[in-house]
């Protein structure tokens, strides 16, 4: 009897040691958005070097609406005119109708629909970094920061406005990385001075500082670069004759006013 008890005790100790070792070897993966820890009903997991998280919580954390379609087994997240759709076990996703390949598709893990964190964040215009030491996915989302923290400023004609007013009015409509043309439009009914504003290419960490331009109501200007760069001082403004935008990797662009407040981000 004593021998049997000894065997059982040894087995229990070995199992406890194995479990503790596993826990130490596999720390929980964390995800933060603008420094805030995202809470998930189940732990994020890594599949083929891709961090997968529950769909609803990651879209919610980025301020996007989310809809699950049981008939097509697909999930759709939408924010500020950007619609991202993934289908279970399908390695093709869509962003505003354009097909984008996935290294790892959305899939069920222990009854939860898990989606690739980096793809979702970047598709909505955020930037993503990985901290291997703390096993943390770090998401920086300028769009959500501007939406959730409106700032009151004085515009160029002395009116008190919220920064989100400009955020909705002056927009980066498109960045054509092939032809190196950034399209910026004033969708409002009042002219906006762009003096002191700047356009940023995040990948290359390069900035274009606007001259004293008044962007008239419902009008468009183009910031050009590369071999085809041109300037007429009316619609077209030359950044540089060099190439700015990275065609092979994600290279978001942002527009900031003279007070360094985020006004618009691409992709939206």
Q: For 44-58, what is each residue's pLDDT tens digit?
A: 999 999 999 999 999
pLDDT of residue 21: 43
On whether the CB atoms of residues 127 and 138 are closer than 8 A, the answer is: no
Domain 150-266 in CATH 3.30.70.1710? The answer is no
* Range list for CATH 3.30.457.10 in the chain: 29-144
pLDDT tens across 61-103, in order? 998 889 999 999 999 998 866 889 999 999 999 998 889 999 9
DSSP character string of 96-112: TTEEEE-SS--EEETTE
pLDDT at 22 exceeding the cut of 80: no
Domain with residues 29-144, CATH architecture: 2-Layer Sandwich (3.30)
- Please report the pLDDT score of residue 3 as a whole number: 54
Q: Which residue has the tokens 């927009």?
A: 171
Location of each CATH 2.60.40.1260 domain in the chain: 150-266
pTM of the model: 0.52
For the cut 60, the answer to whether the pLDDT of residue 159 exceeds it is no
Q: How far apart are CA 120 and CA 124, in angstroms?
A: 6
């Amino acid at each position: 009897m004593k021998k049997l008890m000894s065997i059982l005790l040894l087995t229990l100790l070995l199992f406890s040691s194995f479990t503790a070792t596993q826990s130490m070897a596999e720390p929980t993966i964390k995800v933060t958005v603008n420094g805030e820890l995202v809470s998930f009903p189940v732990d994020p997991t890594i599949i083929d070097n891709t961090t997968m998280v529950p769909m609803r919580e990651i879209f919610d954390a980025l301020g996007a609406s989310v809809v699950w379609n049981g008939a097509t087994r697909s999930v759709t997240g939408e924010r500020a005119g950007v619609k991202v759709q993934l289908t279970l076990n399908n390695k093709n996703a869509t962003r505003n109708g354009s097909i984008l390949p996935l290294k790892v598709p959305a899939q069920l893990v222990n009854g939860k629909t898990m989606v690739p964190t980096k793809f979702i964040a970047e598709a909505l215009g955020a930037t993503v970094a990985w901290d291997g030491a703390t096993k943390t996915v770090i998401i920086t989302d300028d769009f959500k920061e501007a939406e959730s923290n409106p700032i009151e400023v004085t515009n160029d004609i002395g009116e008190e406005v919220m920064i989100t007013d400009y955020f909705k009015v002056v927009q980066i409509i498109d960045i054509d990385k092939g032809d190196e043309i950034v399209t910026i439009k004033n969708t409002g009914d009042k002219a906006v001075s762009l003096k002191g504003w700047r356009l940023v290419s995040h990948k290359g960490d390069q900035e274009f500082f606007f001259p004293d331009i008044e962007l008239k109501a419902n009008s468009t200007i183009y910031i050009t670069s590369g071999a085809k760069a041109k300037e007429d001082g009316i619609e077209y403004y030359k950044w540089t004759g060099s190439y700015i935008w990275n065609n092979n990797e994600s290279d978001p662009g942002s527009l900031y006013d003279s007070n360094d407040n985020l006004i618009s981000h691409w992709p939206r």
